Amino acid sequence: MIDLDAVLLIGAIVLIAAIFAARVGAKFGLPALLLFLGIGMVLGDSVIGIHFDNAEVAQAIGFGALVLILAEGGLTTKWGNIKSSTGVAVTLATGGVAVSVATVGLFGYLVLGLDPWVAILLGAVTSPTDAAAVFAVLRRVPLPHKIRGMLEAESGLNDAPTVLVVTLASAAAAGNPTHGGVPVMLLLIIVELLGGLAIGAALGWIGIQILRRINLPSSGLYALAALGWTVLAFAVAGQVHTSGFAAVYVCGLLIGNAKLPFRMATRSFVEGIGWIAQIGLFVMLGLLSSPHRIDLSDVGIALAAGFFLTLIARPLSVFLSTVWFKIGWRDQIFLSWAGLRGAVPIVLCTIPLATGVPDATKLFDVVLIFVIVFTVLQGPTLPWVASRLGLTDRAQATDVEVEVAPLERVSADLLQVKIPAGSKLSGVEIGELRLGKNAAVSLIIRGDVSMVPAQRERLRVGDEILIVTPSHLREQTERRLRAIGRGGRLAAWRTTDRDGTEDLDEKG
């Protein structure tokens, strides 16, 4: 029988250790995800002695964790930040991946002397950027929306085609090639990818309509419903043999950017779920690894392939993908260096392991070294590289966070706004907000003190303010708050709506 108390004890200790590891990583600039991997290695057969070598279970857990990570990425990504970058991101996630797979595959075959299929698999599993690593690292770097949007959208989309490539290549390497050869393989990838995108978009739209019309008794239920709907998109797409990873990200992106209640509560919930998925995923992968089995040839292959990918293949794929969009050379350099690899390459290695591909264990060990070395090399240096290239944008840290809760009987919404450091809302008087007709600041929470503000009361950094606004003016009120947060009390204001309500201009 399973000793539930012991399981819960070990699980709680690992979770708490991972949380403290994340704190240590943030303090010293180390990628927390690698510390989670280290915890798994310590627990594994090389140190404490927990034995785990089931590739099929590892693949199932890995895919489940990636679904939650991509769902979190979609639900927390702002469409306005990536809208202008979708063309570049889609090109990077498809054509860029193809260039990377081909160049690294050729390098592995011609230079490293790998078996042709193993070389192709090496190129395929190392080509996609990792959503968890990108979301965790880049959101702490004050980048322009354009660059951030490219990298976030690319990392959310490139898992889908890569999983298909690795799956088909693994089958071919194991002696079960696709009938029709490479042309049919490419056609299958395109069809499954487009099908997944379509299913994700359709289910995302349906989910929005349902969540807009249903009144749930708790904010937590809205968050559960949003996450559950994105997982449903993955499952439905998988059942009809299309790309579930494309479906879950697109579905999450649509729901996360809809005007639904309790957006901040949903964001906080899915971020917590994303952290749990990342911790569980990396600890499991650490258990699956066996450091004592790694030899010098594995290290040599990993370093050679990693430097080739980082310094040649990735920049080439970025250049060929962005040259049509007139992206500047500074942006291209940063996009090349910010191609972070994390859990995804290691998880993808479980596919050839489970399929029974010859040398799959060696491939896993090589990719594990690759991920550790180059995540440590690239992750902590991203802020410095962005600064040296003149790409940092401190203004990105001054947007306010707005929470929405429905007030059903009065057709009004309650906005909860927290004023962050650097926001130009600080120092503005309540009367200077000019929120429009029938919108009012009802309460200020300052530390442990709550107050009903007078018109001359000045806002301060750290204040939380509660604003009641008619539902049809909610978006306008949010725009006004963000305009003042960026441009100060003199942010432009104009009246243009036909019904006489005020419209806002965020240029300040």
The reported pTM is 0.71
- Residue 77: name the closest of 141, 153, 137 by CA: 153
pLDDT of residue 250: 92
Give the separation between CA 53 and CA 66, rounded to whole angstroms: 20
pLDDT of residue 314: 92
The mean pLDDT of 471-493, rounded to a whole number, is 80
What pLDDT digit, counting tens, does each position of 2-47 carry?
A: 678 888 888 888 888 888 887 777 666 566 777 888 888 888 877 7
pLDDT of residue 102: 93
pLDDT of residue 105: 93
Give the separation between CA 381 and CA 32, rounded to whole angstroms: 14
Question: Do 362 and 467 sit in the same domain of this protein?
Answer: no
Domain end (from 346, 374, 394): 394
Question: Do 169 and 86 sit in the same domain of this protein?
Answer: yes
The mean pLDDT of 425-443, rounded to a whole number, is 85
**What is residue 467's DSSP assignment?**
E
Residue 271 burial (CB count, 10 A) = 14
Question: Do 283 and 405 sit in the same domain of this protein?
Answer: no
- Residue 263: name the closest of 504, 78, 484, 461 by CA: 78
| β partners of residue 494 | 503
- Secondary structure of residue 266 in the 3-state scheme: helix
pLDDT of residue 99: 92
Do 78 and 252 form a contact (C-beta atoms < 8 A)?
no
pLDDT band at 132 (very low <50, low <70, confident <90, very high): low
Q: Which domain holds residue 166?
A: 4-51+79-189+263-394
Question: Do 389 and 466 sit in the same domain of this protein?
Answer: no
Chain centroid to CA 194: how far?
21
Q: Report the CATH number that the domain containing residue 441 is assigned in CATH.
A: 3.30.70.1450
- Residue at token pair 């704190």: 23
What pLDDT digit, counting tens, does each position of 226-273 carry?
A: 999 999 999 999 899 888 888 999 999 999 888 777 777 788 888 888
pLDDT of residue 100: 92
Q: Per the domain annotation, does 470 fall within a domain?
A: yes
The mean pLDDT of 104-123, rounded to a whole number, is 91
Average pLDDT, the chain: 82
pLDDT of residue 62: 86
Question: Do 339 and 296 sit in the same domain of this protein?
Answer: yes
What pLDDT digit, counting tens, does each position of 148-173 carry?
A: 778 878 887 887 888 888 888 888 88
Question: Do 302 and 443 sit in the same domain of this protein?
Answer: no
Q: Who has greater pLDDT, 379 or 204?
A: 204
Question: Do 316 and 448 sit in the same domain of this protein?
Answer: no
User: Is pLDDT above 70 for 291?
Assistant: yes
Give the separation between CA 172 and CA 170, rounded to whole angstroms: 5
Question: Do 32 and 158 sit in the same domain of this protein?
Answer: yes
What pLDDT digit, counting tens, does each position of 365-420 carry?
A: 899 899 888 888 887 888 888 888 888 755 444 455 566 666 655 567 788 888 88
Q: What are phi and psi of 326, to 5 degrees?
A: 60, 45
Domain end (from 394, 422, 456): 394
- Residue 243: name the closest of 62, 63, 77, 56 by CA: 63
Q: Per the domain annotation, does 223 fall within a domain?
A: no
- Residue 134: name the closest of 396, 344, 384 by CA: 344
